[in-house]
A = this chain, B = another copy of it.
Amino acid sequence: MTTTEAVQLLEKFRDGKADRDAVLRAFQAAPVADLGFAQVDLHRSLRKNCPEIIFAEGKTPAQTAAIARKLASSEKRVMATRVGIEHIRALRRVFPKARVHEAARCVTVERVPLKKRPGTVAVLCAGTSDYPVAEEAAVTADFMGNTVKRVYDVGVAGLHRLLRQLDEIQKANVVIAVAGMEGALPSVVAGLVSRPVIAVPTDVGYGASFRGVTALLAMLNSCSSGLTVVNINNGFGAGYAASQINSLAAGE
């Protein structure tokens, strides 16, 4: 039942052309038989300040470009994550001004960049190999309207590197801590700040790192309070959740 049909039904009823019970049954069935009009509302509430983001991995370049073009018809800003070289080419053909974030493996199209809300999201990573995941988080948070402070290469094997920048980190509203191998960085950080820390395990490591499982488990078992965790390499998810939190802080 489309909104138009619903209106027509109601008008029929008012005009005595439709039975009250029939109207009732139609609306009762609606949420189940056809949620067309509800769906839009639902979506709008969900998408507040949150432009659509495409997960390109496992999609063909053509599919990715097609979805992006369709989104761009209604959205001012489009983002694609986990892009490969071919995805980038296909997206650039459609959006010549698309911006490629190479390390983050993301592409963003922003005709009207979002105004940054107050408060920063700090993105930390333990080693150089964790860059791509950290950048995915940073680019996502930036794209969703947040000021991002990058604090990279601060693994716990050289604690002074982290402590030297602690002041910056403590000023952030949310901290994203990205690490592979033994995944200890988020635990140490969450012991030093009073704001929410989102831990992102990466698949950096070898042998018994089991492609990020060790880092994931370590983060889930942190002895520090206030730590929450996302899937291995899920920089996007961390950036998204951080933006949700920062937007609350901004009173949105």
Contact = CB atoms under 8 A, between A and B. Distances in A.
Contact of A248 (B13, B32, B211, B249): B249
B220 A208 contact: yes
The quantity of this chain's copies bound in the complex is 8
Given A20-B10, A33-B167, A231 B241 contact: no
Contact of A28 (B41, B198, B245): B41
A217 interface: yes
Question: Counting chain B CB atoms within 10 Å of each CB, which of A188, A190, A244 scores highest?
Answer: A244
A195 B244 contact: yes
A55 to B, nearest CB: 9
A237 B225 contact: yes
Counting chain A residues whose Cβ lies within 8 A of the other chain, the interface size class is 35 or more
A205 interface: yes
29 contacts: A10-B20, A13-B14, A27-B27, A31-B163, A34-B164, A34-B167, A43-B158, A46-B191, A63-B128, A157-B223, A157-B224, A159-B159, A174-B248, A182-B184, A182-B217, A182-B221, A182-B222, A184-B223, A194-B244, A206-B233, A207-B212, A208-B221, A208-B232, A217-B218, A220-B231, A225-B236, A226-B237, A248-B249, A249-B249
